[in-house]
């Protein structure tokens, strides 16, 4: 998402990632990526379970002095195996659809009571499923939704705990597509209007005002905007208490960014700074804190492994065409996001660097992973790893160009588990009717 000079180092990436060179081959923890390509083919998503849990524990540790629940944002990576891994460690989940609710149920049923349900357009069937699952709270984004929630709660005879997702009108510097906390965005309810809506909700015995939630955007690297948003939420919560509402939770949303570049990145320090900012924002508020990190937990644990199909020149440009494409990882095409790309076979210090566009086979010029990137000379059959692909990679994949989605493997130290098989032609055509 951020612009940086195009360069891929021939050296090992920072230790903030589980992908490191050993014997001149790229490994994920104790498994070589070339052996994974042999065993599972490419394109292949590879995740380090160790790093996912480490990142989760960074949040647990940074917020240990304060009652809190980390509700991992399922949309970042919704693999059942990853949800199970986190659920078993006590994670809650932030969901945005009935599909994500079902994923949590399948992955780790006891976690259903730690689910928060976000989203601007919830449907009756989704609300019903979440009420029956006894989720922790609905993060309500409009008055209409609150009316629908009251109606469904009454119909099912189940009281609904809700938080209004307020829009604090705080600017967070990030890509415009993933910034959400300004009044010009579709998200949340104007923080100034919230008090009246909580008061109105008191009239329905089927609605339980339970919390206040906020989410200002994603891939936010500075922590001040979080503190500013939380300070506004804190002022609202104290007003709500004076109005007689028993507010139990403050949901700070997700959004903490990572470093997609090859600069050293201290993840633990970043989470500590984030925690300090949130706690500063909520200085006098003791409600149970909910957090919804997605990217920070899974992004750097994952890579997309691809094979080089063709290396060709058009005029002065060199194109490295891989068997992975924008349908597998759309972030560069959609947000001009930067992903480091490493050859699996580590080039020697003296290896020749070329400047190339690294692209997929899809019939669009927007199908690129990197443009004018310095990378060691590659030839057909070579393997490359697109780093930091664990978040919003597989979950944003599609079958565009009738391509089958990649397989996914989860690494636990020296053990490899296939957690999703490669799609087949049969999968591709199954829903269609002629
Ligand atoms: N909570 C809510 C209400 C959200 O909308 C999101 C992300 C999160 C939590 C998790 O945010 P995170 O911690 O992952 O930043 N596809 C984009 C990112 C979209 C984020 C959408 N909402 C990307 O690839 O950068």
Other beta carbons within 10 Å of 434: 3
* 363 given a catalytic annotation: yes
Listed residues 293, 321, 347: the one ending a domain: 293
pLDDT-above-70 percentage for the chain: 96
Specify the pLDDT at position 13: 36
* CATH number where 234 lies: 3.20.20.10
Q: Are residues 276 and 313 in the same domain?
A: no
Listed residues 293, 310, 327: the one ending a domain: 293
- The confidence band for 14, taking pLDDT boundaries of 50, 70 and 90, is very low
Specify the pLDDT at position 400: 98
Q: Please count the residues of the chain.
A: 434
Q: What is the mean pLDDT of residues 370-397?
A: 97
Specify the pLDDT at position 330: 98
Q: Are residues 133 and 270 in the same domain?
A: yes
User: What CA–CA distance (Å, rounded) separates 246 from 80?
Assistant: 35
Q: Are residues 266 and 348 in the same domain?
A: no
Looking at the whole model, is its pTM more than 0.75?
Answer: yes
Q: 217 and 171 in contact (C-beta within 8 Å)?
A: no
Greatest CA separation for the chain: 74
Any domain includes 5? no
Listed residues 272, 293, 314: the one ending a domain: 293
Q: Is 178 in the pocket of ligand 1 (CB under 6 A)?
A: yes
Q: Are residues 170 and 285 in the same domain?
A: yes
* Span from the CA of 252 to the centroid of ligand 1 (angstroms): 13
Q: Is 316 exposed, middle or buried (0-12, 13-18, 19+ CB in 10 A)?
A: exposed
Any domain includes 77? no
Specify the pLDDT at position 185: 76
Specify the pLDDT at position 431: 98
Specify the pLDDT at position 11: 41
What is the residue with the minimal CA distance to atom 7 of ligand 1?
Answer: 218
> Of 114, 166, 48, which is closest to residue 413 (Cα–Cα)?
48
Q: Are residues 334 and 221 in the same domain?
A: no
Any domain includes 170? yes
User: What CA–CA distance (Å, rounded) separates 260 from 210?
Assistant: 37
Mutation test residue for ligand 1: of 71, 74, 75, the one with most atoms within 8 Å of CB = 75
Q: Are residues 265 and 166 in the same domain?
A: yes
Q: Is 72 in the pocket of ligand 1 (CB under 6 A)?
A: no
User: What CA–CA distance (Å, rounded) separates 412 from 80?
Assistant: 15
List the catalytic residue out of 23, 203, 363, 365: 363
Q: Is 87 in the pocket of ligand 1 (CB under 6 A)?
A: no
Q: Are residues 285 and 138 in the same domain?
A: yes
Q: Is 331 in the pocket of ligand 1 (CB under 6 A)?
A: yes
Q: Are residues 128 and 258 in the same domain?
A: yes
Q: What is the mean pLDDT of residues 259-283?
A: 94
Q: Are residues 147 and 276 in the same domain?
A: yes
Any domain includes 46? no
Any domain includes 109? no
Q: Is 94 in the pocket of ligand 1 (CB under 6 A)?
A: yes
Partners of residue 356 on adjacent β-strands = 373
Specify the pLDDT at position 264: 86
Any domain includes 95? no
Q: 189 and 166 in contact (C-beta within 8 Å)?
A: yes
Q: Are residues 280 and 308 in the same domain?
A: no
* CATH number where 368 lies: 2.40.37.10
Question: What sign does the CA torsion over 270, 273, 275, 277 have?
Answer: negative
392 CA: nearest ligand 1 atom:
24
Any domain includes 365? yes
Q: What is the mean pLDDT of residues 104-131?
A: 97
Q: Is 108 in the pocket of ligand 1 (CB under 6 A)?
A: no
Specify the pLDDT at position 188: 87
User: What are the tens digits of pLDDT across the range 328-383?
Assistant: 999 999 999 999 999 999 988 888 899 999 999 999 999 999 999 999 999 999 99
Distances from the Cα of 70 to the Cα of 165, 238, 321, angstroms: 17, 23, 40
Q: Is the pLDDT of residue 280 over 60?
A: yes
Three-class SS of the chain: CCCCCCCCCCCCCCCCCCEEEECCEEEECCEEHHHHHHHHCCCEEEEEHHHHHHHHHHHHHHCCCCCEEEEEEHHHCCCHHHHHHHHHCCCEEEECCHHHHHHHHHHCHHHHHHEEECCCCCCHHHHHHHHHCCCCEEEECCHHHHHHHHHHHHHHCCCEEEEEEEECCCCCCCCHHHECCCCCCCCCEEHHHHHHHHHHHCCCCCEEEEEEECCCECCECCCHHHHHHHHHHHHHHHHHHHCCCCCCEEECCCCECCCCCCCCCCHHHHHHHHHHHHHHHCCCCCCEEEECCCHHHHHHHEEEEEEEEEEEEECCEEEEEECCCCCCCCHHHHHCCCCCEEECECCCCCCCEEEEEEECCCCCCCCEEEEEEEEECCCCCCEEEEECCCCCCHHHCCCHHHCCCCEEEEEECCEEEEEECCCCHHHHHCCCCC
Q: What is the mean pLDDT of residues 174-191?
A: 76
Q: Are residues 190 and 312 in the same domain?
A: no
Q: How many domains does the chain have?
A: 2
User: What CA–CA distance (Å, rounded) separates 88 from 321?
Assistant: 40
Q: Are residues 312 and 288 in the same domain?
A: no
- Rounded (5°) CA angle 122-126-132: 135
Distances from the Cα of 251 to the Cα of 226, 233, 254, angstroms: 12, 9, 9
Structure tokens at 151: 């109606």
- Write out the residue range of the structural domain in which residue 185 sits: 118-293
């Amino acid at each position: 998402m951020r612009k940086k000079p195009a360069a891929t180092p021939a050296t090992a990436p920072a230790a903030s990632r589980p992908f490191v060179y050993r014997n001149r081959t790229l490994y994920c923890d104790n498994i070589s990526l070339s052996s994974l390509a042999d065993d599972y083919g490419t394109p292949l998503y590879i995740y380090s379970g160790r790093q996912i849990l480490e990142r989760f524990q960074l949040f647990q540790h940074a917020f240990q002095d304060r009652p809190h629940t980390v509700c991992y944002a399922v949309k970042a990576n919704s693999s059942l195996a990853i949800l199970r891994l986190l659920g078993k460690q006590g994670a809650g989940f932030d969901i945005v659809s009935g599909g994500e609710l079902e994923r949590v149920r399948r992955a780790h049923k006891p976690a259903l009571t730690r689910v928060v349900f976000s989203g601007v357009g919830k449907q009756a069937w989704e609300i019903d499923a979440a009420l029956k699952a006894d989720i922790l709270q609905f993060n309500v984004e409009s008055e209409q939704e609150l009316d629908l929630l009251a109606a469904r709660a009454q119909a099912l005879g189940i009281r609904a705990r809700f938080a209004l997702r307020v829009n604090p009108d705080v600017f967070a510097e990030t890509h415009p597509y993933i910034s959400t906390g300004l009044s010009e965005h579709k998200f949340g309810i104007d923080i100034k209007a919230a008090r009246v809506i909580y008061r109105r909700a008191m009239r329905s015995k089927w609605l339980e005002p339970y919390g206040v939630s906020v989410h200002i955007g994603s891939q936010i690297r500075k922590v001040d905007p979080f503190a500013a948003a939380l300070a506004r939420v804190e002022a609202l919560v104290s007003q709500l208490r004076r109005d007689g509402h028993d507010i139990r939770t403050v949901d700070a949303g997700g959004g903490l960014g990572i470093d997609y570049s090859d600069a050293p990145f201290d993840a633990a320090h970043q989470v500590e700074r984030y925690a300090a900012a949130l706690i500063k924002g909520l200085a006098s508020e003791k409600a149970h804190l909910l957090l919804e990190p997605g990217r920070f937990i899974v992004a750097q644990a994952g890579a997309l492994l691809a094979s080089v199909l063709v290396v060709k020149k058009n005029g002065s440009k060199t194109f490295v065409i891989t068997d992975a494409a924008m349908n597998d990882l759309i972030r560069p095409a959609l947000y001009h996001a930067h992903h480091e790309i490493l050859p699996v076979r580590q080039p020697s210090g003296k290896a020749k660097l070329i400047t190339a566009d690294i692209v997929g086979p899809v019939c669009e010029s927007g199908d690129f992973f990197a443009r004018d990137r310095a990378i060691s000379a590659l030839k057909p059959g070579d393997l490359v790893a697109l780093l930091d692909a664990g978040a919003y990679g597989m979950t944003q994949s599609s079958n565009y160009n009738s391509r089958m989605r990649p397989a996914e493997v989860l690494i636990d130290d020296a053990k490899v588990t296939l957690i999703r098989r490669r799609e087949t032609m049969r999968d591709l055509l199954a829903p269609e009717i002629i």
